[in-house]
Amino acid sequence: MSKESVKQAAVLLAKQDVTRQRQGLEMQRELILSQRTSNPGRRQALEAALEQVNGQLAELG
C-alpha cells in the first residue's frame, strides 16, 4: 500500500467515524425530544441533555 493510499484510507475512516457519531447524536436528540413529562426536574434534565447533544452536533459541523 502506498503512502497516498494509507492517507486516503485514514481520511475515509475519519469521515465514517464522524458520520457514526452524528447519527448517534441525532438518535439521542430524537429520543430526548420524544420524552413528555410534567415533572419540572425531569424537564430541566431533558433540556440540559438536549443542549449538550445540540452542542456536540454543532462541534461536528
Q: CA–CA separation, 48 vs 43, rounded Å?
A: 9
Q: How many whole angstroms separate alpha carbon 5 and alpha carbon 1?
A: 6
Confidence of residue 1 (pLDDT cuts 50, 70, 90): confident
Share of the chain above pLDDT 70, in %: 100
Q: What is the mean pLDDT of the chain?
A: 94
Mean pLDDT, range 38-47, rounded to an integer: 96
Amino acid at 37: T
Residues in Cβ contact with 46 at an 8 Å cutoff, skipping those fewer than 6 apart: 32, 35, 37
Mean pLDDT for 22-43 is 96
**DSSP secondary structure code for residue 45 in this structure:** H
Instruction: Say yes or no to pLDDT of 30 above 90.
Output: yes
